[in-house]
């Protein structure tokens, strides 16, 4: 099983470690399945930028970024070189260790929590 470490810009939230992530699942799916809030206004189909994340380490264990994903990242709040969309960040190996930071979700229109 892969390990995904979720860090948060929102200082009210504590780090969450998921050590049961499976190859073929996206970071968004792992977040949803494990009670980690990551907005996804388009339903996770690469049609918005609300599931924007920063990949702190383990980017080699994720599918390559597509041109379409890059276009939507440009529309995200505070994009960086390590920015990805959670819905497009699919885990490639069961022995992956991936660490991500979720931007403050309060800044996103459609924020639910």
Q: Is residue 40 part of a domain?
A: yes
The pTM of the full predicted model, rounded to 2 decimals, is 0.93
Q: Which residue did the predictor score with more confidence, 109 or 69?
A: 69
**Letter string b/e over residues 98-112, b meaning 16 or more CB atoms within 10 A of that residue's CB:** bbbbbbebeebeeee
Give a yes or no: residue 9 inside a domain: yes
The 10s digit of each residue's pLDDT in 20-52 is 999 999 999 999 999 999 999 999 999 999 999
Average pLDDT over residues 43-66: 97
For residue 16, the domain's CATH number is 3.10.20.30
* 113 lies in some domain: no
Domain annotation covers residue 65: yes
Query: What pLDDT is stored for residue 113 in this prediction?
Result: 46
Domain for residue 112, yes or no?
Answer: no
Q: Count how many domains the chain has.
A: 1
Task: Give the pLDDT score at 110.
Answer: 56
pLDDT at 107: 74
Q: Is residue 11 in a domain?
A: yes
Percent of the chain with pLDDT over 70: 96
Range of the domain at 84: 2-106
């Amino acid at each position: 099983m892969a390990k995904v470490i979720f860090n948060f810009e929102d200082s009210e939230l504590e780090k969450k470690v998921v050590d049961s992530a499976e190859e073929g699942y996206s970071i968004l799916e792992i977040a949803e399945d494990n009670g980690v809030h990551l907005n996804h206004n388009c339903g996770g189909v690469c049609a918005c930028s609300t599931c924007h994340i920063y990949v702190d380490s383990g980017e080699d264990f994720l599918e390559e970024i597509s041109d379409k994903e890059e276009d939507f990242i440009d529309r995200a709040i505070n994009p960086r070189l390590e920015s990805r969309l959670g819905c497009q960040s699919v885990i490639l190996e069961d022995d992956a260790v991936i660490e991500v930071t979720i931007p403050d979700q309060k800044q996103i229109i459609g924020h639910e929590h």
